[in-house]
Structure 1
Amino acid sequence: MAGDRLGFIDRIAERAAERRWKRRAAEAETTDLDQLRGRRGAARRLKRHLDDFLHVADNRLALPAIGNTAFPRPHDADWAWRPELWRGPIPEPGIASVQTQSTLGREATLFHDCTTSELTLRQIRNMREADLAPFGLRLDVFRFDGSYLSLAVDLPPDAAFGLKRRHLIRLETIVEMEKPIEIFVRLNVKHGPNVEQIVRELPLHQEEIRVEFDLAYTKLNEKRVEKLWTDIIFEGPQMNQVILRDLTFSRRPRAEL
């Protein structure tokens, strides 16, 4: 009974708040500027909470399951992760005429050196039955007068926590292209003032597209690991459309010799 009463009160409060903001929107053209400034600040604060709520709600309610973190991973993995672009909807799903260092969501940044950008980047909904990731990322490239194009994806702090040289880091993806190109992935590990880098080419001809980065071949200072990120590098991308249907990472310790 108490729960029903609280739910009823919540519904009344929500309807009152909705009416209040509907009225404020209608009055915005004539509201005193000082009052309008205060209402704008309140609206922005409310919008942040609403965006957070919608992100989580959409994650849980859409199909295929938004927010899905399930994907095949090594049985001995001690960390696994799917970035937000492939996991849930973001507030601004696309960018046209993408300028270098433009971000999409909180974790992905596109870099290029084009004089004139004829690039678009957009989060798209995965609808195929085979897709585990609810969203994909589509990159459209028309005329390309630059020398490089890369998508940087920041890994979360959990990826760096407890990282050792005996770890293997795996990246798996599903790629669709209008025409074949080469795609490379560079893993970057910042430790103190130094950055270790390992480059692998994606085996696009294979059914399972994955690469592993073996940290044993680096000079990683395990006590000073700060952050990790990857650069997905597209070679000769002009007049092409590339879709990353999924992108996942996992980490596992190498078997003791």
Structure 2
Amino acid sequence: MTAHNDLATRWTRQARKLGRIAREIEMDGGVRLASRSQRPTGMPDDAEILHRPSILAIRQTPGGHVSPPSGAQLAADVSLHHDMNPPRIVTRQIQRDEGHHDFALDIWNTQGSFMSLALALPSEQMAKIAREDLIRLDYTIELEQRCDVFARLNLVHGPNTEQVVRQLDLRNQGDVLEFDVHYTAFDPTRAREIWIDLIFNTRPLNRVVVRDLVISRRPRLSL
């Protein structure tokens, strides 16, 4: 009887311990989810958040790169492209709080004209894009030296690629722009890849800090 009671006590303690661990995991997951799905100020109520690049939402290993070649994969959904030779670039992820990071790029560029970040949309979110959608980019970016920055939406369907280019307004560091899918020949039933290129016409010396980027969609008929 005593052995039975001891066994029951041990199982009760183990169950309580597992319960605490489960609650901690659930709370941690809730914090991460809340941070990742946080809506930027001013986002319309009918806009659905599709993606926040993982370099801003998830701790990366390694957290930085020195002289990365063009095409370097900085995260599963982010790659770096440039025409610099040699590539005098240093990238670094800077944690602000749980599930929210800044991403900094220091550029010492003697040759070359551009640097870009390719931000890929996950396949499960890509499938939600329709012809009557507006693709929205909310951004907060700081530049040490002002330069032209463009965003290019790439819609790959079958063998074809539709592209829409917009210039970012960085006078207030943060703003929003939208791409109208309706005015492209994009066929959602043949969608293969969707990504946004963030293109910087870099100056010889510059520091870029990306504080937030959120890609979302909403029906254009709601305008």
The question of a shared fold, defined as TM-score above 0.5 by the shorter chain, is answered with yes
Conserved in 2, the CA contact under 8 Å of 1:117 and 1:144?
Answer: no
Q: Partner of 2:13 in structure 1?
A: 4
Pairs within 5 Å for 1:1-257: 2=11, 4-5=13-14, 60=28, 66=32, 68-69=35-36, 70-72=38-40, 73-126=43-96, 134-206=100-172, 208-255=174-221
**1:123 CA drift (Å):** 0.9
Structure 1: gaps of 5 or more residues = 10-56
Identity of aligned residues (%): 33
Letter in 1 for 2:193: K
Structure 2: gaps of 5 or more residues = 1-8, 19-24
Q: Matched residue of 1:230: which SS?
A: strand
**1:240 CA drift (Å):** 0.6
**1:175 CA drift (Å):** 0.9
Query: What is the Cα-based RMSD across aligned positions, in Å?
Result: 2.5
Letter in 2 for 1:223: T
Residues 104-148 of structure 1, C-alpha deviations (whole Å, 9 max, x = no match): 121111111212111011111226xxxx97101101001231132
Distance 1:3 1:109, change over 3 A: farther
C-alpha separation in 2, matches of 1:199 and 1:193: 20
C-alpha separation in 1, matches of 2:137 and 2:112: 27
**1:253 CA drift (Å):** 0.7
Distance 1:85 1:135, change over 3 A: same
- Where relative contact order (Cα < 8 A, 6+ residues apart) is larger, the structure is 2
* TM-score, normalised with respect to structure 2: 0.81
Residues 163-210 of structure 1, C-alpha deviations (whole Å, 9 max, x = no match): 211100000111111121111010101111111100000011146411
Distance 1:223 1:3, change over 3 A: farther
Give every structure 1 segment of 4 or more consecutive aligned residues whose post-TM-superposition deviation is greater than 3 Å. 6-9
Distance 1:3 1:117, change over 3 A: farther
C-alpha separation in 2, matches of 1:253 and 1:182: 29
Conserved in 2, the CA contact under 8 Å of 1:188 and 1:195?
Answer: yes
